[in-house]
Structure 1
Amino acid sequence: MLSQLTSLPHLHQSYIQLLDAIDVGIHVINHEGLSVIYNKKMSEIEGMDKTDVLAKNIMDIFLFNSEEESRLLQALRKGAVRKNAKQTYFTYKGQQITTINDTFPLMIDGNIIGAVEIAKDITKLERLTRESAWDKNEAKYTFDNIIGDSDAIKEVIHSAKKATRTTSSVLIYGETGTGKELFAQSIHNGSARSAKPFISQNCAALPDTLIESILFGTVKGAFTGATEHPGLFEQADGGTLMLDEINSLNASLQAKLLRALQEKSIRRIGDTKNRPIDVRIIATLNEDPLVSIEKKRLREDLYYRLSVVSIAVPPLRKRKEDLAPLTAHFINKYNRRFQLQVPGIAPEVMNLFAASDWPGNVRELEHMIEGAMNLIHYDEVIDYTHLPIHVRHKFPLYESYTQPSKLYLSETQSVRSLQAYMEDAEKLYIQQVLEQHQGNVTRTAEKLGLSRQSLQYRLRKYGINSS
C-alpha cells in the first residue's frame, strides 16, 4: 500500500478511470506530502491540469501561509479528520476556490501513509450569493435618461410614469436591447420606494440548481454547505425586485413565485416558517408574453399576476425618428469618455442607419457608435469608412454605397459636384422618411421640418411617388 501511494504509475489504470468518472473531487497525497491522485473533477474545480499537481508538494500548489492552513497536511501530520467542512483557498494561479470537504488520513497498521480530500464545489454558489448581496440600490436611471422624440417612445414613457404612483406588479416586454431595465429603474426611482433597494437579477443567468436559493434564501443545514442567508426577496424588502427574462424560470419556480406574490411571504429553503415581504416586482420578457404562454415558457396565471401594469417597449425599427437624438446622445457620451470632439455623423451614415432594421435595437446602435469612435481621429465626423467592415456588409444599403451612381464615393467613382451629391442625399432621405410614414405627406413634412408645399415641390422635383 505504501508503494502504491508513492508514485502514480503503480496505480492500476482502471482505478484511475473510475476516479475520473466520479462527480466529486479527489486529491490524495503520500507520506511526503506529494500529490499522487488528482482526479478529473478536482481538476475542473480548481482549474489546474494533473501535470500541475501530481508529484508536487502541496505547499507549492496552493497559496497557504503555513502547513496549518492545509487540511490535507493537517490530516497527514496530525491525523486530523474534517467532515462536511467548508473551505476557501487560492491555487498558485491566484484562483479562489470554495468547496465542502471531507478530509482524513489514510492508515495502515496504525501508521499514517497519506491523506485524502473529497471535495464538492460551491464556488459558483458563493459568487452568486455575494453578487446578489452587492447588487442593491443600483437604480441610477430616471425617465430623463430615456432618449427619444417619437410618438411611440413618448407613449411608453407616459404609461410608465403612471406606474410610479402605485405598488402594483409591472411586466415590461420588448426585444433584447430596447432598454427594458432603463424603464424598470425609472419606475423605481420615480416611486415612493426610491430610497429603498432596487435589485436586478437576470433569471437566465442562474442554473436551476441555484436559482431557488438565490431568490428565496437558505437556512443553515438546508443542504451541504448551506448557510443562513437571505434571498433576493428579503434583500429587496421595502423596495423593488426586477426579474429579467422571467420566462427562463422553470414551471415549479414560477409556481413558487406566484405563491410568494399572492401571499406576500416567502419561505427559505430548509425553513419551516414563512417570512413576510414587502417587495414590488418588475418582471421583463424579451418576447410577447402571449407567445411565451403559447410555447409554455410562461405560466398563464403568473402572467395575469405580473401584468397588472403592462409596458411594451417598441423596437428601434419602429421608432426611427429617435435615431438622430440617440446617435447624438451616444456621440456626446463617448466624446466625454474618450476625450474626443467628434461633432456628429455624416449624412450617408445616417441614411444607412435609417435603412437598417436594427435587430440589436438601441444597444446595437450604441455599440456601433462606440466602435466607430475607437477608429476616429480627434475631431472627425463619423463617416462610412469608420464603420467596421462586417457592419458595412450587414446593412441593406451596403451595395448602394459602393456603386458609382450612389452616394458613397468608391475608388473607381468619378467625383461629382457637391450640389449633385446633396441632391442625391436629399432624395434618398425624403424617400426613407416618406416610407416610414406610409406615404403621408403631411406627417413626413412635419418630421422633416418642411411645409407641405415645400415637400410637394421636392417630390415633383425628384419624381418621388407619395402614394
Structure 2
Amino acid sequence: MTDQIHNFKNLNLILKRIIDEIDVGLHVVDEKGNTIIYNQKMMQIESMDIHDVLDKNLLDVFRFTKEGDSTLVLALQEGKETRNVKQTYFNNKGKEITTINNTFPVIKDGEITGAVEIAKDVTKLERLIRQNISRRGNARYTFESIIGSSPPLLEVIENAKRATRTSSSVLIVGETGTGKELFAQSIHNGSIRSAAPFISQNCAALPDNLIESLLFGTKKGAFTGATEHPGLFEQAEGGTLLLDEINSLNPNLQAKLLRVLQEKTIRRIGDTKDTPINVRIIATINEDPIDAIANQHLRKDLFYRLGVVTLFIPPLRDRKADIPQLAKNFVDKYNELFQMNVREVDEQVMESFLAYEWPGNVRELEHVIEGAMNLIINEDSINYSHLPFQYRNKSKFKEVITSDSAIEQFMLNTAQPTVQLKEQMDMIEKYYIQKVLKTNKYNISATAKHLGISRQSLQYRMKKFNLQGNEGQ
C-alpha cells in the first residue's frame, strides 16, 4: 500500500510538471463550472494568478459578451465539443484575451462531470491584424454617419455624394473639428474603391524627412539603415489616400506630390525607376486655400490640381440648427460608453449651446458633453453645474450672468433664502430679457439675435414672463 501511495504521488508530480510545461493553455472545470486544473501557460495567456481562478466559478472570474460565447460553458451545458474556435473574452482586470480553443466535455456514465479547454494564445496576433486593418481600411464612416439636417450641411453632403462617382482628387476645406475626415471616409465608402484600402496620414504629425519616406517608400541602401519599404501611395493601391493638413507639407514635398498627381507614378527614395499607382487622393486643409496660397502654405499649382472637387465644410457656428441633434447623438454615445442614462441637455444649457460660437466646432461640442457627463452622478440631464469650467468661463453663460453689474445688484436686491434656485433664475432671466428688449427698442428679431436664440424661443419666454415687443425686422 505504501508503494502504491508513493507511486501515486510520483505520478501526480509528473502529471503536474507535464501540465505546467506544455506550450498550450489548459483549463479544466467540474460539473458546476468551478476550476480544478489551471496550468502555467493558461496563467500567462490570461494574465491571471492561479489563486484568482482555482476553485472559483468560471463566470465569476471571466467576462464574456454572453454565456454562449464561452466554449467551456457550452461543453458543460450542452455537451458541445468545439475544435479550433476563436474566442474573445476579458479577465477580471478587464484585459481582452483572444484564444483558439479545443474544448470538450468530460462524460461519465452518460453524465457531464466537467469540461476541458486547450487554448492557444492569439491575442497579440489578433491585435496586429486589427492594427493592420485600421491602417489599411479604417473607413468606418458613411454619409449616414454625418449628423445634421441644416441647409449648409445638406448642400455639402450632396456635393460630396456626387464626388463618389469619379476618382478625381478632392480638397476638403474646413476649420479644425468640423469633421473633414468623416467626409473623406464617406466619399471613399460611397465609391467603387470602397473595398480597397483607405489610408489616412496627418502631414503635420511627422518631420519632413520621415513624411517623405512614409509617403513614397524607400529602396534598400538608399541611406544607412534603409530597407525595402513601400510607401503609403503603394499601400493604398486601388483605394484612397487621405492627406490631412496638406498645407503643413513643405514646398518641395508639395512639388513631388504634384508630380505624383500628374504622372500617376511614384519613385521610392533611392530608387531609379518609377512605379505606376492607382490611388485617389483626398486632401484636407484647415485654412482658406486663398489665404494658404498668399501665405505660401500651399502651392498654387497643387491647389488647382487637388481642388478638382473642393468641398467647404461649414463651421458649427454657421449650422447651429444641428446642435440639438449633435448633442443628443453625443449624449447617447457617452451613455453607452459610460453605462449611464442621461436623457437630455437642460433647456438653459441648450440655449447657451445655441448662443456660443464654438471655435472648436463639433469636436469642441463633443468634448464639452463628454466632460459634463463625467461630472454627473445621479442626475438624468446635463445642467449648468456639469459644464466644464473652461466652457462656462468663455460662453454666453458668463455674458448673461455676470457681464452686467445691474444684474448683480438685482440679484442682491431680490435674493431670498426661501426662494428656490429655479425661481431665482427665472427672475434673472426675465430681467435680462427686459433689458435687452429695451436696448433693441422692443424689436423681437434684433433682441433674439442679441441673445443668440431663435425668435420662437424668445417669443416663448416673452409669453412666459408676460413681456411685450414688436414684430419689426
Q: Check whether TM > 0.5.
A: yes
Pair 151,410 (structure 1): closer, same or farther in 2 beyond 3 Å: farther
Question: Deviation at 1:380?
Answer: 2.5
Indicate conservation of the 8 Å contact 1:401/1:409, yes or no: no
Is the aligned partner of 1:421 residue 2:426?
A: yes
Partner of 2:372: 372
Question: Deviation at 1:131?
Answer: 8.0
Partner of 2:469: 463
C-alpha separation between the residues in 1 aligned to 2:216 and 2:454? Answer: 53
Indicate conservation of the 8 Å contact 1:132/1:214, yes or no: no
Partner of 1:11: none
Would you say how many aligned residue pairs link Structure 1 and Structure 2?
330
Pair 179,434 (structure 1): closer, same or farther in 2 beyond 3 Å: farther
Question: Deviation at 1:206?
Answer: 1.2
C-alpha separation between the residues in 1 aligned to 2:334 and 2:134? Answer: 28
Pair 409,131 (structure 1): closer, same or farther in 2 beyond 3 Å: farther
- Aligned residue runs from structure 1 range 298-337, under 5 A: 298-337=298-337
C-alpha separation between the residues in 1 aligned to 2:378 and 2:396? Answer: 29
CA RMSD of aligned residues (A): 3.7
Indicate conservation of the 8 Å contact 1:141/1:185, yes or no: yes
C-alpha separation between the residues in 2 aligned to 1:290 and 1:418? Answer: 52
C-alpha separation between the residues in 1 aligned to 2:292 and 2:214? Answer: 24
Q: Which amino acid aligns with 2:137?
A: N
Question: Deviation at 1:421?
Answer: 2.4
Partner of 1:200: 200
Partner of 2:237: 237
Q: Which amino acid aligns with 1:359?
A: P
Partner of 1:250: 250
Question: Deviation at 1:420?
Answer: 8.6
SS of structure 1 residue aligned to 2:243: strand
Question: Deviation at 1:393?
Answer: 1.1
Gaps of 5+ in 2: 1-129, 438-442
Question: Deviation at 1:390?
Answer: 2.6
C-alpha separation between the residues in 2 aligned to 1:448 and 1:400? Answer: 16
Indicate conservation of the 8 Å contact 2:242/2:281, yes or no: yes
SS of structure 1 residue aligned to 2:213: helix
Indicate conservation of the 8 Å contact 1:137/1:196, yes or no: yes
Question: Deviation at 1:462?
Answer: 3.6
Question: Deviation at 1:171?
Answer: 0.3
- Deviates most, 455-464 or 350-359: 455-464
Indicate conservation of the 8 Å contact 1:266/1:276, yes or no: yes
1:266-306 Cα offsets, whole Å, 9 max, x none, are 00011111100000000000011111001111000000000
Is the aligned partner of 1:264 residue 2:270?
A: no
Question: Deviation at 1:427?
Answer: 9.2
Q: Which amino acid aligns with 1:463?
A: G
Question: Deviation at 1:132?
Answer: 8.8
Partner of 1:25: none
Q: Which amino acid aligns with 1:206?
A: L
Compare the two structures and name the one with the higher helix fraction: 2
Q: Which amino acid aligns with 2:247?
A: N
C-alpha separation between the residues in 2 aligned to 1:268 and 1:391? Answer: 48
SS of structure 1 residue aligned to 2:199: strand
SS of structure 2 residue aligned to 1:367: helix
Pair 178,434 (structure 1): closer, same or farther in 2 beyond 3 Å: farther
Partner of 1:169: 169
Partner of 1:347: 347
Pair 250,420 (structure 1): closer, same or farther in 2 beyond 3 Å: closer
Partner of 1:151: 151
SS of structure 2 residue aligned to 1:241: strand
C-alpha separation between the residues in 2 aligned to 1:173 and 1:207? Answer: 23
- Deviates most, 180-189 or 408-417: 408-417
Question: Deviation at 1:461?
Answer: 4.1
1:242-278 Cα offsets, whole Å, 9 max, x none, are 0000011111110110001111010001111110000
Pair 140,377 (structure 1): closer, same or farther in 2 beyond 3 Å: same
Partner of 1:182: 182
Q: Which amino acid aligns with 2:382?
A: I
- Aligned residue runs from structure 1 range 42-191, under 5 A: 135-191=135-191
Question: Deviation at 1:391?
Answer: 2.0
C-alpha separation between the residues in 2 aligned to 1:134 and 1:342? Answer: 31
Partner of 2:363: 363
C-alpha separation between the residues in 2 aligned to 1:379 and 1:455? Answer: 25
Partner of 1:82: none
Pair 437,396 (structure 1): closer, same or farther in 2 beyond 3 Å: closer
C-alpha separation between the residues in 2 aligned to 1:433 and 1:160? Answer: 38
C-alpha separation between the residues in 1 aligned to 2:413 and 2:380? Answer: 21
Indicate conservation of the 8 Å contact 1:427/1:462, yes or no: no
Gaps of 5+ in 1: 1-129
C-alpha separation between the residues in 1 aligned to 2:413 and 2:239? Answer: 59
C-alpha separation between the residues in 2 aligned to 1:437 and 1:161? Answer: 35
